[in-house]
Amino acid sequence: MDFSFLKRIGDRQEERHVSCLDAAQPSGMTRLVVFDLDGTLVDSKQDLANAANALVEELGGRRLSEDAVAEMVGEGAAVLVRRVLAGGHLDPGTPGALPRFLELYDARLVEHTRPYDGVVEMLEALHPRLPLAVLTNKPQAATERLLAALKLDRFFQQVVGGDTPLGRKPHPGGMTAIAGHAGVPIEATALVGDSPVDLETARRAGSRIVLVSYGFGFRPGKLRAGEQVVAEPSGIAAAL
């Protein structure tokens, strides 16, 4: 399997972090941080909802609220489209709906999407200390374009989208590949995300998990020992 896409964004940053990875560190220390994107780093709710409703209206369906669409996000574009169509009283299997949604979303990818307050400052603080990566169920091309448009790509060594050969979260393939490529044990890797999908991904992979309650995918639930929740981006570093 070709994992060359893992290096596409981050090769220019790799040398900066070699000393961090090679230095002797306590086994309990986080040595790699992997971030979810939507609902964790960026608030993309409005653009996603606008694209979803543009699709629904083209097909003659009923508009959905922004919050309703946000609750459907998290398991990839194909799942989102099926949920949106069903919510709009349309056939979830409508031919051509997924590629049309991707076109509509691409046209408004960063109209309203912005990093959450405090995210840039948090990344600036972590970036000199630890290698950082992104693992999202958003398609790879859209992910890379969004990160570049918001000038967030400079922080990340690896970026993995949901349409790569590694599969979508909660499948652990993305997490284990990112950790392996970085040369970091999975138990020394932390996933920062906002949703039950992120929680399940970390559990399946055997990594640490930090959930952010400010994200639109957050759902309160029972946590296991060592699983943490923070209310603001400023709390992420301390939780690692």
Global model pTM greater than 0.95: no
Cβ-defined contacts of 22-25 (< 8 Å, 24+): 25/188
Q: What's the chain's length in residues?
A: 240
pLDDT band at 3 (very low <50, low <70, confident <90, very high): low
Which of 43, 139, 136, 60 minimizes the C-alpha distance to 98?
A: 139
Range 31-58 average pLDDT: 97
Whether 32 contacts 188, CB under 8 Å? yes
So what's the architecture of 45-106 in CATH? Orthogonal Bundle (1.10)
Quote the percentage of the chain above a pLDDT of 90: 85
Is residue 7 pLDDT above 70, yes or no? no
The rounded distance, in Å, linking the Cα atoms of 108 and 139 is 15
Q: 103: part of which helix (H) or strand (E)?
A: helix 97-106
- The CATH number corresponding to 4-43+113-239 among 1.10.3720.10, 3.40.50.1000, 3.30.365.10, 2.40.50.140 equals 3.40.50.1000
Number of H helices, E strands in the chain: 10, 8
Cα(158)–Cα(135) distance, integer angstroms: 8
Name the least confident of 14-18, 46-50, 148-152, 188-192: 14-18
Q: State yes or no: is 36 an active-site residue.
A: yes
Residue 74's pLDDT band, with cuts at 50, 70 and 90, is confident
State whether residue 110 is helix, strand or coil. coil
Residue 103 confidence (pLDDT) above 70: yes
**In a 3-state reduction of DSSP, which class is residue 62?**
coil
Q: Given 2, 11, 22, 36, which residue is catalytic?
A: 36
The domain limits of the chain are: 4-43+113-239, 45-106
Q: How far apart are the first and last CA of the chain?
A: 31
